[in-house]
Amino acid sequence: MKKIFSKTHLLVAGAVILVFTSVAYAEYKYSLLVNKNSDLEINLENTQKELAQIKDENSGLNTSLISEKDRNDTFQKQIGEISSTVGVLEKIKNTDKELLQKYSKVYFLNENYTPSKLTPIDSIYLFNKTKKFQIHERVWPHLEDMLQAGAKQDINIKIISAYRSFSDQSSLKSTYKTLYGSGANAFSADQGYSEHQLGTTIDLDRESTTGNLVTSFGTTKTFTWLTENAYKYGFVLSYPKENKFYQYEPWHWRFVGIELAKELHSEGKYFYEMDQREIFNYLANFFD
């Protein structure tokens, strides 16, 4: 029998089959790899999505944390404001409104009024050391500060008069009336007296004086010192020159609290010029 296929043919055919088989196997392997790769890509994509979602959630949490903190801060602030308002209201409630009341020939302090607590004035500051004068207990520290500050600058202020009760004033006025007749009204009128009944008001003079309250006190260096410094201690001149309400009284100083006195000084105003409602805004810090 004649050989149809030579040995060479067989070898070639074998080689061809081997090549085909290898290629097919390689393709199969490649397709497996491609599949695996696309699986990995899908996984990666999913992971990225999850990560993005976690990020979103995280930033959402952060935002709510921040807003929660803000709310808390606001709440804290509100509590602070409320308690300070309560504090201010409490101070106003406990501060006698009369202490910042404007008096006039129409509005007058009740004859039964007495200050909450009076304290004696150290006699070294009195013009007449045999007399006894009292002042509102919580005004005294401010007055003493002022007198000491003056003394340090060789301004020795003397007190001629301080707290006067309704009956003190009545007898004083009848003495004046006996001496001066109806002319007494000109310098012992009721308006200025009300302020003395409060226990926050004093009549001042310089050291070497006769002790008579005279308008020439307004030309002394003691008076100049007072106009430049008294406000720092809460004292103001009730009736300055050419005021529209009452006669000029350079000796008559009233405690209105440091805050209000400073405000009046910086505005170049006097107490009786300011609106009563505006004045009452200073009641809370009256003794500070």
List residues binding Zn ion (CB under 5 A).
Answer: 203, 252
Q: Which is nearer to Zn ion, 203 or 205 (CB)?
A: 203
Dihedral Cα 268, 269, 271, 277, nearest 10 deg: -120
Q: Which is nearer to Zn ion, 202 or 279 (CB)?
A: 202
Which tokens in the block code for residue 74?
């606001």
Q: Which is nearer to Zn ion, 193 or 286 (CB)?
A: 193
Closest residue to Zn ion in the complex (CB): 252
Angle at 10 between CA 9 and CA 12, to 5 degrees: 65
Least CB distance from residue 254 to Zn ion, whole Å? 8
Residues near 98 by beta carbon (within 8 Å), at least 6 away in sequence: 109, 113, 198
Which tokens in the block code for residue 51?
């990560």
Rg of the chain (C-alpha set): 47
In the three-class reduction of DSSP (H, G, I as helix; E, B as strand; rest coil), residue 204 is classed as strand
Q: Which is nearer to Zn ion, 252 or 284 (CB)?
A: 252
Least CB distance from residue 87 to Zn ion, whole Å? 34
Least CB distance from residue 161 to Zn ion, whole Å? 6
Q: Which is nearer to Zn ion, 92 or 190 (CB)?
A: 190
Least CB distance from residue 88 to Zn ion, whole Å? 31
Cα–Cα separations (whole angstroms), residue 265 to 10, 192, 218, 268: 126, 21, 17, 5
Least CB distance from residue 210 to Zn ion, whole Å? 17
Q: Quick one: how far is CA 206 from the chain centroid?
A: 37
